[in-house]
Structure 1
Amino acid sequence: MINKVGQIMVYVDNQDEAVRFWTEKVGFSVKAEEDNGQGMRWIEVAPTKEAETSIILHNKEFVAKMSPGINLGTPSLMFFTDQFDELYTDLSNKEIKVGEIVNMPAGRIFNFADDEENYFAVMEQK
């Protein structure tokens, strides 16, 4: 039986730029990096080293060649934070494209885009 989400695959055009975005701008850490020397390279990033769920950054072009039928679209990810206003301000100050704050029945939400225009959402969690 499945008991947790372990990793989420995100396919990107430029892995090095994606790593810089997630680590330098968003504040994630690199948990692992693998390279088989034959083009298959992936980088695991997460909010903390101890996080149970992480994002794996894969080379979109390589994955498309290896698995032609795979959906390379960006998954719709919702992150939670208990420092909502601070995160919104921090991302904005780092010139990350952020959307307007929206009040939803479940709480306040905004979205942000990485350097490849992939959008992700953040929800306030108190």
Structure 2
Amino acid sequence: MITHVKFVSIPTSDQDRALAFWTEKVGFTLMSDQPFDDSQRWIELAVGNSPTRFVLFTPEGQAERIGSFFNGALACDDVEATHRQLSARGVEFVTPPTKQHWGSFAIFRDPDGNQFVLSQR
């Protein structure tokens, strides 16, 4: 039986820049940083207390995916508070906290232009 998503891969053009963004600005925790091949490392980040990990990696031949949107949403308890916290750390939001009939959300961008929906539980 499937229990959870093990990891999602975030395409990046600069692994060091992406690592700094996700750890220093967003607050994820580095779990693994090891060589993958001659040009990339396998960088795995913990997302809070979730068993799901983010992997900062771009598979060979997939450079066109860099800067594409992330097809999913990141959950938080309070979109407005998280928006304030991340904005203060320099995270760029393309959509400020917005309330809809189904809930609240905001959208931020990483250094490669990938966009992430932040959604209130």
Q: TM-score higher than 0.5 here?
A: yes
Determine helix, strand or coil for the equivalent of 1:12.
coil
Q: Which residues of structure 2 form unaligned runs of 5+? A: none
Aligned partners of 2:46 and 2:52 also within 8 Å: yes
Aligned partners of 2:5 and 2:52 also within 8 Å: yes
Q: Which residues of structure 1 form unaligned runs of 5+? A: none
Instruction: List structure 1 runs of 4+ shifted beyond 4 angstroms.
Output: none
Aligned partners of 1:11 and 1:74 also within 8 Å: no
What value does the CA root-mean-square deviation take over the aligned residues? 2.1
Number of residue pairs matched by the alignment: 118
- Larger Cα-atom Rg: 1
Query: 1:46 maps to what in 2?
Result: 46
Cα 1:70–1:2 shift into 2, 3 Å:
farther
**Alignment counterpart, residue 110 of structure 1, candidates 75, 81, 106:** 106
Cα distance in 1 between the residues matched to 2:113 and 2:18: 11
One-letter amino acid of the counterpart of residue 56, structure 1 = V
Cα 1:46–1:91 shift into 2, 3 Å:
same
Identity, in percent, stands at: 25
Determine helix, strand or coil for the equivalent of 1:121.
strand
Cα distance in 1 between the residues matched to 2:111 and 2:89: 12
Q: CA deviation at 1:83?
A: 3.2
